[in-house]
């Protein structure tokens, strides 16, 4: 995903879209668009503005954007209020995400006899989500069962 797609994705998640996102950053929608498209000598959004938009959109997409550029994985911290029922749900979610990775691999091999670049990107994206989910599950387990 490129930086403009990142902004557009966050704006889609915000009720009110770009107008609300612009107001949240203290700028007009036209100024927001100038930053987005780097028109009229405007620079792209600062890291602080990106983080503010991430907060507004209640996402981790900015962190994921920079992590992907660094070949790293974003691992959200588990919530403070995790119980054994929530752990079970986390375990099921981890299994579903791993299954999604395996399904993408199988589909690519069946359809193309191998894994092309496009399929590889989809597999790696799904894999990052699986690993982040698994890490959260392990950390939550440690939290619940720590003595």
φ, ψ (nearest 5 deg) of residue 37: -100, 0
Range(s) of the domain holding residue 90: 84-145
SS3 16: coil
Number of domains forming the structure of the chain? 2
pLDDT score of 75: 81
Spatial neighbors of 120 by CB under 8 A, at least 6 apart, are 108
Residue that is last in its domain, among 43, 69, 95:
69
- Predicted TM-score (pTM) above 0.75: no
Do residues 73 and 128 lie in contact, with contact meaning Cβ atoms separated by under 8 Å?
yes
Q: Has residue 13 been placed in a domain?
A: yes
Report yes or no on 76 lying in a domain: no
Residue 9 has, within 13 A of its CA and on its CB side, a CA count of 15
pLDDT at residue number 68: 86
Kindly report the average pLDDT of the chain as a whole number.
Answer: 93
pLDDT of residue 116 exceeding 80: yes
Q: What does the alpha-carbon distance between residue 77 and residue 107 come to, in Å, rounded to a whole number?
A: 32
Burial class (CB in 10 A: 0-12, 13-18, 19+), 129: middle
Average pLDDT over residues 88-94: 94
19 in the same domain as 53: yes
Q: Are residues 9 and 63 in the same domain?
A: yes
Q: Is residue 29 part of a domain?
A: yes
Q: What is the pLDDT of residues 26-52, one digit of tens each?
A: 999 999 999 999 999 999 999 999 999
């Amino acid at each position: 995903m490129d930086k403009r797609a990142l902004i557009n994705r966050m704006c889609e998640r915000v009720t009110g879209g770009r107008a609300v996102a612009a107001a949240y950053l203290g700028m007009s929608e036209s100024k927001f668009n100038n930053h987005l498209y780097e028109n009229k000598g405007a620079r792209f959004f600062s890291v602080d503005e990106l983080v503010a938009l991430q907060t507004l959109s209640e996402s981790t997409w900015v962190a994921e954007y920079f992590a992907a550029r660094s070949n790293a994985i974003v691992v959200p911290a588990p919530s403070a209020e995790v119980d054994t029922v929530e752990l079970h749900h986390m375990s099921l979610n981890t299994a579903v995400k791993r299954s999604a990775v395996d399904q993408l691999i199988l589909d690519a091999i069946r359809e193309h006899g191998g894994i092309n670049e496009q399929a590889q990107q989809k597999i790696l994206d799904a894999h990052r989500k699986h690993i982040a989910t698994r890490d959260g599950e392990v950390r939550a387990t440690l939290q619940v069962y720590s003595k």
